[in-house]
Amino acid sequence: MPKAYDPKQAEQKWYEFWFKGGFFQAGKEGSEEKEPFSIVIPPPNVTGNLHIGHALNMTLQDILIRWKRMEGYDTLWMSGMDHAGIATQSKVEARLREEGISRHDLGREKFLEKVWEWKEHYAQIIREQWYKMGLSLDYSRERFTMDEGLSRAVRKVFVTLYEKGLIYRGQYIINWDPAARTALSDIEVIHKEVQGHLYHMNYPLKDGSGFIRVATTRPETMLGDTGVAVHPDDDRYKGLVGQSVVLPVVGREIPIVADEHVDPEFGSGAVKITPAHDPNDFEIGGRHDLPQVLVMDETGTMNENAGPYRGLDRFECREKIVKDLQDAGVLTEIEEHVHSVGHSERSGAVVEPYLSTQWFVAMKPLAKQAIRDTKSGEGVRFVPERFEKIYLHWIENVRDWCISRQLWWGHRIPAWYCADCGETIVRIEDPESCPRCGGGKLKQDEDVLDTWFSSGLWPFSTLGWPQKTNDLDRYYPTDVLVTGYDIIYFWVARMIFTALEFTGEKPFRDVLITGLVRDAEGRKMSKSLGNGVDPMEVIDQYGADAMRFMLSTGYTPGNDQRFRWERVEAARHFANKIWNASRFALMHLEETGAETLSLEAPLSTADRWILHRLNETVETVTESLNRYDFGEAGQALYRFIWDELCDWYIEFAKRPLYGEDEEAKRVTRSVLVYVLDQSLRLLHPFMPYITEEIWQHLPVDGESITVSQWPQKNPAFEATQAVQEMRVLIETIRAVRNIRAEMEISPKKQVELIIRADGSVLSAYRNNESAIRRLCGADRFQAGSDLARPDKATTAVVTGAEIFIPLEGLIDIGQTITRLQDELKKLDKEVERVEKKLANRGFVSKAPAHIVEEEKQKGAEYRQKRDKVKNRLKELQGQDR
């Protein structure tokens, strides 16, 4: 094995091995008796490359799947991608634009061919990125939202909801994206605070008796005004209700109406009403039968109703109309005003509230069951819990969902209109003729469905629904969904509604919510800032395992994390550490091969200690994963492997391994192989490649670590005595090293070590003499209960023992005195603290007995240590004079 781990060489090799071995495939022969465990992938958009957020999300899922697979479940990680309507279509259109053509030049059919080509191209890129990340997706089941099967599911849902009256078509104010030229749903609109203006205008009363003053942030919409509204209780305007004003520029006569909805506190208390360009005005207009006048077209350009402003962009129009109205004395005041303006989530364009005919889903009836479930505690469990409130608040206030999009790329709405009688026909199968008049002139609705309509069916449509397939039966409902908090409304909530409605079950038991991966400065990664991190670049530089470990550990669930290259580097160092520990182990295994661990064999203190600690680590890692606490699991593994296995166990093991005692060698090798094997298994879900690479070198049975058994806690490994002994040994070795460092004793120089102790502590020293000699750099060693204090020796005191290092006069005693005085100060403080606590009657009577007992023991230890230090000081100070 080479000195450093080379990810590139391992990654491709093992991924191919796994892939060919079919380890990722669910429901293979022999898995019938296993319990199923399933996750569906949040399908990435086929728009392009995966970003680091995907890498995080996918890594977490892969950890869960690999872990459960090792625990013996029949695991399914459903693979697939999303057609991503607007996003994909606009990318393809942009590409075409470079060639100087528009989608209209091509026509619908030809354009869609181009999009399918694009899809195939990027799907392959995405698959390759999945491979590189080491993901154990079931590729044999990969789905696409526009597959035939999934499209059937979409139609089935659409038709069923239509027949129940939960899908309807109508003319309402929707959010219009003038750049993408399509309707949007409410949640596709991002509201941003914008510094704008409030324009005050005086509309002249028809009878010439004066003006009524209105205020607006959007003066260009005045062209579409069809009324002025005031609050019915507003005394200022009581006499004016029922009268008319003459709309400036347009000359239209419009009524003054009274409506409860008007806020008398805002502006002058009178508002202009533009029913075709504002949702509130639409409502008010409806109540008062006001006409609806659209003044813009679908691109945000003023139309023929805008009179002289026709042909102007809406923002140009604003500037011009403000000037004109000022000149005319209508617009009398402009105030600075901060208000919230909707922007398209996709195109970034300012969204236009726009009157148009669209399809909607009535959400309230669908939300009912989901709300009931959550309130009764039977709903989907959110991890972390706090996201449940966010979800609940949204479903309780959900509004109807505009699902039609004026795009070509997507599921075409299964509605046909009869040219002869005007009938609307909604069918799963394409109709041949009109069922009402028998006419054959049917035209399908031009629009497609919101992408999220099909994504909302993902957990069951991918498993074959509406057909009753084996997969659906076996793997549905799924166990957990892993996704970001940014799509709780878009996706998670909608999956829950539709699943409850169409399958009668929750789509998943738990939903694990992840935070965002931000840049090192804490900013959101974005294309415009150019601060995004490409996961492929990270893998290229540090390996997939390092990236996975960095992303999945060391942060809090649900919180954002910052991407820092130093942390990836630290993860790579960790991988390398394991690599070298394994090299060490394999070096000693070469000659003899495998050894089976036997607890009957004469195990050393270190052997029993590391097995005990392994036991605890198995428990911590398993329990943490059960809680989805990847950070804790990762930390436990890091500490165990680096601090305990490498820094202590292996150092202790060197004595027997390099020694002459063949039995001791055998025993040590058996423990080392066992602990390494088990550690690699625990680490495998996090770092699949390096663990497989090493595991394949180890003399253990099994085809692949991927399908090896997950470690179990072994009660026979309990060894509290060994833990106590190791504590003393480690404390002693540290004390000696500390002395050596402070006294500047060269690492090469051997010293003499005399330890005074008795009872079990003494036997611990005697049993581990050679390890202590090695790790303390002591070529002469004595331990006993009644050893004489040597002259000219420096001293340290550890729990239950005194340590002497004779120094042959080359060291000044003053240094030792200073060190012991510092030590004494610390101990005095500790003793004082404990005694104060124990003197507190409240503490002794109210604190739990075991806590009080612990304090007493600590107190005894500190006092004992302190007394020893004091005695030594006295002796030394006497000697110094």
| Smaller CB separation from RNA, 530 or 747 | 747
Nearest alpha carbon to residue 162 among 351, 530, 428, 481: 428
Contacting RNA within 444-473 (CB under 7 A): none
Q: How far is the CB of 799 from RNA (least distance, A)?
A: 10
Contacting RNA within 324-363 (CB under 7 A): 340
Question: Which residue in this structure is represented by tokens 């023992």?
Answer: 801
Can residue 562 be called a binding residue for RNA (CB under 7 A)? yes
Range in contact with RNA (rule: CB under 7 A) among 42-50, 353-361, 580-588, 870-878: 580-588
Q: Among 71, 147, 186, 534, which residue sits at the site for RNA (rule: CB under 7 A)? A: 186
Output the six-digit token pair for 146.
């526009």
Give per-residue burial for 543-555: e unless 16+ CB within 10 Å, then b: bbbbbbbbbbbbb
Question: Which residue in this structure is represented by tokens 């607890």?
Answer: 599
Asked if 204 contacts 248 with a C-beta cutoff of 8 angstroms, the reply is yes
Binding to RNA by CB under 7 A, coded x per residue (else -) over 212-231, reads: --------------------
How far is it, in rounded angstroms, from Cα 774 to Cα 782?
A: 14
| Smaller CB separation from RNA, 41 or 675 | 675
| Smaller CB separation from RNA, 573 or 713 | 573
Q: How far is the CB of 828 from RNA (least distance, A)?
A: 11
Question: How many of the other CB atoms lie within 10 Å of CB of 771?
Answer: 21
Contacting RNA within 378-397 (CB under 7 A): 386, 389-390, 393-394, 397
Q: How far is the CB of 730 from RNA (least distance, A)?
A: 9
Q: What is the secondary structure of 136-193 as a DSSP string?
A: --EEEEEEETTSHHHHHHHHHHHHHHHHTT-EEEEEEEEEEETTTTEEE-GGGEEEEE
Output the six-digit token pair for 303.
């139309």
Q: How far is the CB of 410 from RNA (least distance, A)?
A: 23
Return the H-helix or E-strand segment holding 484. strand 478-484
* Omega before residue 466 within 30° of 0, cis: yes
How far is it, in rounded angstroms, from Cα 236 to Cα 233?
A: 9
Contacting RNA within 581-620 (CB under 7 A): 581, 583-584, 587
Contacting RNA within 653-692 (CB under 7 A): 654, 658
Q: Among 566, 660, 701, 786, which residue sits at the site for RNA (rule: CB under 7 A)? A: 566
Q: How far is the CB of 579 from RNA (least distance, A)?
A: 8
Range in contact with RNA (rule: CB under 7 A) among 18-26, 450-458, 557-565, 605-613: 557-565
Can residue 570 be called a binding residue for RNA (CB under 7 A)? yes
Q: How far is the CB of 1 from RNA (least distance, A)?
A: 9
Q: How far is the CB of 194 from RNA (least distance, A)?
A: 11
Binding to RNA by CB under 7 A, coded x per residue (else -) over 497-536, reads: -------------------------x-x------------
Can residue 699 be called a binding residue for RNA (CB under 7 A)? no
Contacting RNA within 843-862 (CB under 7 A): 843, 846-848, 851, 854, 858, 862
Q: How far is the CB of 341 from RNA (least distance, A)?
A: 11
Helix (H, G, I), strand (E, B) or coil at 598: coil
Range in contact with RNA (rule: CB under 7 A) among 50-58, 155-163, 471-479, 635-643: 635-643
Q: What is the secondary structure of 426-463 as a DSSP string?
A: E-SSPPSS-TTT----EEE-S-EE-HHHHHTTHHHHTT
Q: Among 95, 110, 573, 780, which residue sits at the site for RNA (rule: CB under 7 A)? A: 573
Q: Among 726, 834, 869, 876, which residue sits at the site for RNA (rule: CB under 7 A)? A: 834
814 CB burial (10 A radius; 0-12, 13-18, 19+): exposed
Question: How many of the other CB atoms lie within 10 Å of CB of 778?
Answer: 20
What does DSSP say about strands 36-40 and 74-81: parallel, antiparallel, or unpaired?
Answer: parallel
Can residue 209 be called a binding residue for RNA (CB under 7 A)? no
Strand partners, 404: 449
Q: How far is the CB of 52 from RNA (least distance, A)?
A: 15
| Smaller CB separation from RNA, 322 or 657 | 657
Can residue 567 be called a binding residue for RNA (CB under 7 A)? yes
Q: What is the secondary structure of 779-813 as a DSSP string?
A: EEEEEESSPPPPSSEEEEEETTEEEEEE-TT-S-H
Q: Among 152, 833, 856, 870, which residue sits at the site for RNA (rule: CB under 7 A)? A: 833
Residue count, binding to RNA (CB under 7 A): 76
Binding to RNA by CB under 7 A, coded x per residue (else -) over 861-880, reads: -x------------------
Can residue 3 be called a binding residue for RNA (CB under 7 A)? yes
Contacting RNA within 801-830 (CB under 7 A): 830
What is the 3-state composition of the chain as percent helix, strand, coil, each rounded to the nearest 5?
50, 20, 30
| Smaller CB separation from RNA, 150 or 745 | 745
Can residue 305 be called a binding residue for RNA (CB under 7 A)? no
Asked if 618 contacts 641 with a C-beta cutoff of 8 angstroms, the reply is no
Q: Among 627, 713, 780, 825, which residue sits at the site for RNA (rule: CB under 7 A)? A: 627
8 CB burial (10 A radius; 0-12, 13-18, 19+): exposed
Q: How far is the CB of 187 from RNA (least distance, A)?
A: 6
Nearest alpha carbon to residue 30 among 710, 712, 707, 701: 707
| Smaller CB separation from RNA, 100 or 842 | 842
Q: Among 9, 626, 720, 840, which residue sits at the site for RNA (rule: CB under 7 A)? A: 840
Range in contact with RNA (rule: CB under 7 A) among 32-40, 112-120, 294-302, 629-637: 629-637
Range in contact with RNA (rule: CB under 7 A) among 38-46, 187-195, 248-256, 593-601: 187-195
Can residue 727 be called a binding residue for RNA (CB under 7 A)? no
Can residue 232 be called a binding residue for RNA (CB under 7 A)? no
Q: How far is the CB of 476 from RNA (least distance, A)?
A: 29
Q: Residue 880: CB partners within 8 Å, gap ≥ 6?
A: 813, 814, 817
Contacting RNA within 422-441 (CB under 7 A): none
Q: Residue 319: CB partners within 8 Å, gap ≥ 6?
A: none
Range in contact with RNA (rule: CB under 7 A) among 10-18, 649-657, 751-759, 761-769: 649-657
Contacting RNA within 738-757 (CB under 7 A): 738, 740-742, 744, 746-747
CA distance from start to end of the chain:
59
Q: Residue 248: CB partners within 8 Å, gap ≥ 6?
A: 201, 203, 204, 222, 325, 328, 330
As a three-state string, the secondary structure of 31-94 is CCCCCEEEEECCCCECCCCCCHHHHHHHHHHHHHHHHHHHCCCEEEEEEEEECCHHHHHHHHHH
